[in-house]
Amino acid sequence: MSATPKGDQGGTREDATKTKPGYFGPFGGRFVAETLIPALDELTHALETIVHTTGFQTEWRDLLAKYVGRPTPLSDAKRLAHSIDPAGAFLKHLYLKREDLCHTGAHKINNALGQALLAKKMGKRRIIAETGAGQHGVATATACALFDLPCEVYMGAEDVKRQAPNVGRMKLLGATVIPVMSGSRTLKDAMNEALRDWVTHVGTTHYCIGSAAGPYPYPELVATLQAVIGDEARAQVLAAQGALPDGAVACVGGGSNAIGLFGAFLKDDGVALYGVEAAGHGVHTDKHAATLTAGRIGVLHGSKSYVLCDDGGQILEAHSISAGLDYPGVGPQHSYLKDTGRATYVSATDDEALAAASLVARTEGIIPALETAHAFAKIGDIARELSAARGRAVSLVLASSGRGDKDLATYLERLEVFRDAH
């Protein structure tokens, strides 16, 4: 899909970070086929008149409590922190916001349940979704099973192969998994096909996007539904240490778990925000997915943000060992946070993520998703930098966005190679 604009219409909702409706600074908007504009208008209206109502919030939050298992715990990762900083010179506390303990094993269920409930109230009779790591696909299939809605999930053929456990889970839940054979056969291509489907069936179908990306109002809708992560974490850290954390850290692909965590701290200048992208084989190579680190401004999947593209605006293939971060774009709010300096974005290589996953498993008894492992990989560097700036040891909260059951085959294969190589 090209990074060339096809037309632009913003939404109607303003928030503290927007300079005009539907935008975060210069990022966001709608760059889509005209046939999708009425559906996006309908969804924008539903966000205002349904999602933000007390009735919807009560019903959705009741599901989060009784079905998902919220609030998720906040764990003080003492052994991991000690292994990173044995002397306690720069890392005082490392708190983990345990989204891996949600039903289905990741933060994706927060958004999927909310969108499925919204679709039901909008009278939509069919749900489609895209997925990379499979967690959003599983979450959407789960929500559709709960609400008795047919579900079709587009998934790159490469991801179908490397995320086989989640493919099986989706099928068991009654969803139809559609392998996408085009392009790099990963998340970007799955989203392309889902958008093409939606154009054809826009009247009866709701497209449940899993990332805080895509045309307006999706970035705001997903951020609204994932804000529960940060809202809980903020209150939990205050209760644990009587003060806000010095920093909040999360992995970033499309950016939903990160924006969910960051949202509660955006107005707290004392809380530094760090997103960790996938550096793949290294940002100096052409095998990475570090969009904010090494990308440029363009348009992908209906939104203006940072993307990986060539001089002609053609989207480049991304690479990451983690299917959920293997995406050549990012949500527009993250692009805005980068350009304003409110958030800092760094990247971790495949090998760094693998090493971090092994360390987390051995010190905390937690096998993280490969996506989350990227955030863990940079904790030491982030803590050192922040400690040096503040002249004391710091406390960090990290979004433990998903569990690594789905990645076990990759861990067993690659960690053996990794040990031999190091």
Structural domains in the chain? 24-63+107-219 (3.40.50.1100), 69-105+228-421 (3.40.50.1100)
Would strands 126-131 and 74-76 be described as parallel, antiparallel, or unpaired? Answer: unpaired
Catalytic residue check, 401 = yes
- Its pTM stands at 0.93
Q: By the 8 A CB rule, do 291 and 270 touch? A: no
Q: Which of 130, 364, 371, 385 is catalytic?
A: 130
DSSP 203: T
Q: Which residues of 110-119 are buried (b: 16+ CB within 10 A; e: fewer)?
A: bbbbbbbbbb
What is the chain's pLDDT, residue by residue, as a tens digit (422 residues)? 334 333 343 333 334 455 688 999 999 999 999 999 999 999 999 999 999 999 999 999 999 999 999 999 999 999 999 999 999 999 999 999 999 999 999 999 999 999 999 999 999 999 999 998 899 999 999 999 999 999 999 999 998 988 888 999 999 999 999 999 988 888 889 999 999 999 999 999 999 999 999 999 999 999 999 999 999 999 999 999 999 999 999 999 999 999 999 999 999 999 999 999 999 999 999 999 999 999 999 999 999 999 999 988 889 999 999 988 989 999 999 999 999 999 999 999 999 999 999 999 999 999 999 999 999 999 999 999 999 999 999 999 999 999 999 999 999 988 875 565 55
CA distance 166 to 188: 18
Q: Which of 338, 387, 401, 406 is catalytic?
A: 401
* pLDDT tens profile 199-251: 999 999 999 999 999 999 999 999 999 999 999 999 999 999 999 999 999 99
Catalytic residue check, 130 = yes
Q: Which token pair is 35?
A: 């046939």
Q: Which residues of 269-298 are buried (b: 16+ CB within 10 A; e: fewer)?
A: eebbbbbbbbbbeebeeebbbbbbbbbeeb
Largest pairwise CA distance in the chain: 60
Catalytic residue check, 193 = no
Q: Measure the CA dihedral 265/297/223/273, to 10°.
A: -20
Amino acid at residue number 160: V
Q: Which of 18, 97, 108, 378 is catalytic?
A: 108
Dihedral pair phi/psi, residue 106, rounded to 5°: -165, 170
